[in-house]
Amino acid sequence: GAGVSQSPRYKVAKRGQDVALRCDPISGHVSLFWYQQALGQGPEFLTYFQNEAQLDKSGLPSDRFFAERPEGSVSTLKIQRTQQEDSAVYLCASSPRDSAYEQYFGPGTRLTVT
């Protein structure tokens, strides 16, 4: 079966533009996570969805970051008024259930803000 897919794979935005990053999780997976990975660092947690409910958004760095998963499948991470410090790889992961099972990661979207 298909894994987690993300689009676009690469995005270049001018500072101040809004961007939307899409995640298609593995079909039927209840849990969906977003992570941000700076160059040379490990991924950092941004937010978590269980079905359509956003249960944890403690990692979102500012109110310019917004995530949604309206029908409990596809998710979108939106960044408003992008800044250079937003340049990173944004990773999406899904998991079949909400316990200590492995998360399946997508390839990520590399965002470059110029």
Partner 1 sequence: LAKTTQPISMDSYEGQEVNITCSHNNIATNDYITWYQQFPSQGPRFIIQGYKTKVTNEVASLFIPADRKSSTLSLPRVSLSDTAVYYCLVVRVSGGYNKLIFGAGTRLAVHP
Min separation Cβ 16 and partner 1, Å: 27
Smaller CB distance to partner 1: residue 41 or 62?
A: 41
Instruction: Write each residue from 20 to 39 as x if it is in contact with partner 1 (CB under 8 A), else as -, in one continuous string.
Output: -----------x-x-x----
Nearest residue (CB) to partner 1, 71 versus 102: 102
Distance CA 49, CA 73 (A): 10
Q: Is the Cβ–Cβ distance between 49 and 32 less than 8 Å?
A: yes
Q: Which residue among 14, 28, 63, 102 contacts partner 1 (CB under 8 A)?
A: 102
Nearer Cβ to partner 1 (21/93): 93
Q: Minimum Å distance from CB 66 to partner 1?
A: 19
What is each CA distance from 9 to 5, 27, 66, 109, in whole angstroms?
Answer: 9, 20, 19, 4
Q: Which two tokens stand for residue 92?
A: 């999406």
Q: Hey, is 86 helix, strand or coil?
A: helix
Residue 67 tokens read as: 């995530």
Quick check: 80 and 15 in contact, CB under 8 A? no
Residues of this chain that bind partner 1 (CB under 8 A) = 4, 31, 33, 35, 40-45, 48, 50, 55-56, 91-93, 95, 98-108
